[in-house]
Structure 1
């Protein structure tokens, strides 16, 4: 069937090219509009912290949307009339904006804790209407108002931080593509020793990314899609589309030495097409597992990943061969040249040496992968907030100023929504409420508690907003960073309080939201892992008609992932190499990164396994000699796998220049995993294990084999 598709592609080559050219031009318009539809943040889940936020919004009109204005001076204190006048002048225009609900400052009823000990730095709290994404649209306008010649001013907090993340994501996308495309093109020119053969895979990558973003534009109109989908689609689109195109181009160039253009295309699609389809399927299954999560960010990244892999698959099976038909003359001029990568003879000799002492090769490599993964055992999941931004981002600078001058945790209190059976200030309720506040104040991690019972007279104006008809709010300030385990213990202790049956406490805030999100994500993670392993195993069983080979492939993939997890913790959590990668470690691993890495790496690593085993299978069916088949399979695919991995590593390294720590971690983790997989695992461990298993590699019960058609 694939052979006939190849023949049809040759005959309709101009039609296919014209159709894809039209799709590309149409897609450009929609692809450029995608950022305006993407959402900030990670999305809502049905957790206690989210329920608390909804209760506060409904009962007290306290929304997530808002920001902090930080004022500071080197030579004036907040008592200086010039300081006061300048601060009032800056904030006055904000009162006229319809999206502003209220502003709370030290001067109109705020607390002394809003100012630094040297009285040179102070912050104000601004509440806004609407969702965070709606509020983000107002950030440029607000920044125009926040100007001063006398004071240093920053805006920080939720809305400005998400705004800076959006801007940084779009800048990262442009930077990553600007770095990746020339690097990849240069590498492919070296591989093919010709500009045209090198340009074809790069052009296909650009087409895949553009068309995928256009489809994402329409998806985003019907469901929430994270801003990070922009980077993932571009990263995977360039890497995977170029890898698939590289396989087609390499196989076509080999076929041109033996037959005419039409026959070469037909045979290329007939052989390489099967490999690409199953490779794409495993990547789709890996990324598709993200759809099983409730978190909008993970779910939308799964949708984006499936879209770009599917598009890359279709492009490589239709547009790539059609273009090759047109430029085949340029391929003939280079088809006789030897590849400049490691020669086929080298791979045959290396594989033969490995298979002579397979146990001596396999055991040390397995031990090495285990050792590389050991740091993962000490993983500390978290979610860096402002620190995920570069140090020169305005919202990051404002956040750091408050932390350094006023106190850690000042902007991230534990927030409690207390709902009563009746008015919170009734005699019965106020006694129970006072007991809870007293317990909180006596907690060893608590710096202060703000509530309707706070005695601070300067707090009287603000605390009027803390109570409604049956609900009130408590803000608990910790001595520690919101990611610190002692802050997490505080949240858990509050949730474990013995409550009066007449009211309930719902805990939210940065620490509680992080804890709830991590618990919810990792509750779903085992299901996603099980789904991927089961479906990929089945797909490989159908392809190779073996019980052992799919099992070995899954185990080796898990070992590569474990090693990359260890590297991730070593670099990003423990802070090694942070100067090289230009980030500041917060002592945590961003909670979504291990999940995303699993979904990405499992599929990408399986690509190389399929590339290799498919070729070995062809030789085994012809010779029935396991050792010879492995050696010849490595000889044929070794250069291809090396080149494909090199391309993907170059793309990943390009995106490792990202200013956003999450994207940087994903890129670095992917680069490490692909490098390990294509070198140590596929080059040494796979042939060693296949030699040890010998004919058992191809075993499967005959009654099961009869249930599935031969592919």
Structure 2
């Protein structure tokens, strides 16, 4: 077939060749399938040459023409595309250097809360009241902190520290004599100071002064603690752990990809896309730090998402490309069909993940917002790498994508053995079994998931502290000493900032009123400067237990002749819980609404979006139950190597829900799109569900295992919150792929039958115009499709290097009986 040259001097000719190749494929399909796929070739030709006469096919909203144009764009100059990608990757490496040093380790507090206002006011008016660096001075077993020689050395250290640049508000036990600064046994006491500036400046100051103070000084030994030391040590450990996680995850991922594809060439493509996504992730995070605060934890999770999702997307695209090659299609036509089907689904899937992450923007804490900013950028970057770089590489490779078939080394007698993940016979049997006993599987699976989630009913929320660090970390050791050996929980006091003119009698009356409140051990102050004053309240309980949190409310409701604001660890926790609880319904409504809309655009069904949201939420129960049972209650803490603080940091469940829900939708979209494609082709609901699971079950499981490997590598971190994120999300991904997608989804869809695809007439018209589908020309949802002849077994693709075996004839017979029962 000769094309007409277009203005570009050749694009039209290439388009004509593409259309002719695809038309030839359509002729082959007609011979193989008895006319079942006759439209494929003509549609492919139309997509390659431009919009078909009369407009876009129904149900695509013109998407086929747009995808055809996109195919020509990314494959017209494949070498140039790859060269540009190489240049951009090098620039990303340069732009992303040093990103870890610019990330913050806080962000859990609400910046608009009362506690935040009070903290900033105290920093401004009374800098001595907000120490963030503690020097633990140990006189040893043979000495006491009140010995003259020990006291003299401690005062010299405090004087030197006060003279350091970037240090203010130095105080000590030897200056104030405060009992809270002296250990009960008299062998240890504290020097307190405040480092000024942002996290980066404080980190540099700490790096500069630490060598001069840590270690032995005459009769005493000094170790460093306090919030600044904890955050700084946490950043260093996370940076080291991330490098180790990448070193572990990449080779294991390569082995798994070789097992999935057989071909070493095909396996290297997703890994290459993943590496590009990692490097791009670092550049994105570095750019974000110029405009907003970004949590150091975001570096771990977004790097894992960038690698995992890029590999997932590339996995699906390479799989579909090889499947098209196996039918005899030339590479250019195969990549066109791949982008119209798997490529479109990848784009759609990335939007669902981005939507889930975007929900975190409604929360005020920058810990959550930074994950939203970075996560959205990284998800779209991973999709772009899979949809731009990968097609160019596949066009250049062509059939060589199947080269270096390593699985032949394990085949006896050279006999070809289909890969279960690609042939799908076992998945077809699983789908048939599940649908035959749909009520049993639906109820049993749902009951098990609910049971696994029950521990979450006992969740206790707390704040992140030094116990996130390994037990051997210096700042953790110092803070643990203070908790156990010093009176009155000096790190867990509540502070009251007062503004307004008052007499000494009024201050004294307020102090007496506060001292009489239940839960108050002691109140110190006031320290007055102008019209500002502050009091320190030491609670009877622990820093953030229920008694101390109730005390925060009582202090805030206590009447005074001046304006008061309460801060402290417990006050920050109370305000954080309030901010999350107040905005959580908005985040849930956003995720639910947009997810329902996106899944409707994919399927044209009213019921499927509802099923997707409910089943996805149900798939997360095991993750939340495990988080409480392991990390709050401390089970397996010895095996996993962490110290349980007895609570869960308030923002973590929100973060884990948004990430895990998005990943669950990611796999749900891949399964639903293939089911929809088959249902549009045959009009047979039961067969479509079985075919969708047959074609995607193994691939979804492989993708989930690969992503779980990446998340487990992240979960090997020595920081407890990072460990919780990595292991929790890995569990959620595996439960979703192996339990929910394999058992619960087919069982529920079998129970709902053909009603699954129903939609009212106005919505059918809306979907016909704007909907998306992995199929080529999907009829409006709810419109009975013309059932086409089932594909004969011989028509299943059977490429020697990429076997896709037919479903077991016995299972096809069972499916026919199921279809007959459905119609009856």
- The one-character-per-residue Cα deviations of 1:341-390 (angstroms, maximum 9, x if unpaired) are 48511111111111111001101111111111111122111113111122
**Native 8 Å contact 2:421 2:699 kept in 1:** no
Structure 2: 5+ residue runs without aligned partners?
Answer: 1-65, 406-415, 773-824
Partner of 1:145: 212
Secondary structure in structure 2 of the residue aligned to 1:530: helix
The 5-angstrom pairing of residues 345-494 of structure 1 reads: 345-407=425-487, 409-420=489-500, 422=501, 424=502, 426=503, 430-452=504-526, 466-494=527-555
What is residue 22 of structure 2 aligned with on the other side? none
The more displaced of 407-416 and 175-184 is: 407-416
Deviations 1:274-311 (A, max 9, x none): 11011101001000111222111211110000000000
Equivalences for 1:324-335 in 2 at 5 Å?
324-333=394-403
Residue 29 of structure 2 is matched in structure 1 by none
- The 3 A distance-change label for structure 1 pair 622 and 342 is closer
Report the Cα distance in structure 1 between the residues aligned to 2:671 and 2:638, rounded to whole angstroms. Answer: 37
Number of the residue aligned with 2:234: 165
Deviation at 1:95, TM superposition (A): 2.5
Q: Name which one, 1 or 2, has greater alpha-carbon Rg.
A: 2
> Per the alignment, in what secondary structure is the counterpart of residue 583 of structure 1?
coil
User: Aligned residue for 1:520?
Assistant: 579
Q: Distance in 2 between matches of 1:445 and 1:697?
A: 58
Please state if 1:684 is matched with 2:743: yes
Alignment match, 1:455: none
Q: Determine whether 1:18 maps to 2:83.
A: yes
Give the distance between the partners of 1:27 and 1:308, measured in 2 at CA: 13
Which residue pairs with 2:345 in the alignment? Answer: 275
- Report what 2:264 is aligned to: 195
Q: Offset at 1:235?
A: 1.2
Greater mean deviation of Cα atoms: 628-637 or 71-80: 71-80
Q: 1:634 is matched with which residue: 693, 700, 713?
A: 693
1:158-186 CA deviation, whole Å, 9 max, x = no partner?
21111112212212221221121122112
- Give the SS at the match of 2:97: helix
Pick the aligned partner of 1:59 from 122, 125, 128.
Answer: 125
Q: Specify the alignment match of 1:338 in structure 2.
A: 418
- Contact 1:93–1:145 under 8 Å retained in 2: no
CA contact (8 A) 2:224 2:474 kept: yes
TM-score (norm 1): 0.94
Map 1:547-566 to 2 at 5 A. Answer: 547-566=606-625
Q: Tell me how large the CA RMSD over aligned residues is.
A: 1.9
C-alpha distance in 2, partners of 1:684/1:107? 67
Residues 106-139 of structure 1, C-alpha deviation per residue, up to 9 Å, x if partnerless? 2222313311122101011112333444322211
Report deviation, 1:337: 6.2
2:102–2:200 Cα contact (<8 Å) kept? no
What's 2:785 paired with? none
Q: 1:584 aligned to 2:643?
A: yes
Match of residue 255 from structure 1: 324
97-106 vs 354-363, which deviates more? 97-106
| 8 Å CA contact 2:556, 2:566 repeated in 1 | yes
- Given the alignment of the two structures, is residue 113 of structure 1 paired with residue 180 of structure 2, yes or no? yes
User: Equivalent residue for 1:218?
Assistant: 287
Question: Does 295-304 or 377-386 show the bigger shift?
Answer: 377-386
Distance in 2, matches of 1:510 and 1:136, equals 22
Q: Report what 1:156 is aligned to.
A: 225
Equivalent of residue 164 in structure 2, options 93, 97, 103: 97
Where 2:419 maps in the other structure, the secondary structure is coil
- Tell me, what secondary structure is at the counterpart of 1:189? helix
1:545 is aligned, of 590, 599, 604, to: 604
Aligned to 2:358: 288
Equivalenced residue count is 690
CA distance in 1, matches of 2:687, 2:399: 35
Alignment partners' CA distance in 1, 2:342 and 2:158: 64
Could you say what secondary structure the match of 1:155 adopts?
strand
Contact 1:44 1:295 in 2 (8 A): yes
Q: Is the 8 A contact 2:470 2:718 kept in 1?
A: yes
Cα distance change on mapping 1:143 and 1:58 into 2, 3 Å: closer
Contact 2:128–2:193 (8 Å) recurs in 1: no
Query: Do the aligned partners of 1:381 and 1:590 also contact (CA within 8 Å) in 2?
Result: yes
Instruction: Measure, in 2, the Cα distance between the counterparts of 1:685 and 1:51.
Output: 49
Partner of 1:39: 104
Q: Which runs of 5+ in 1 are unaligned?
A: 453-465
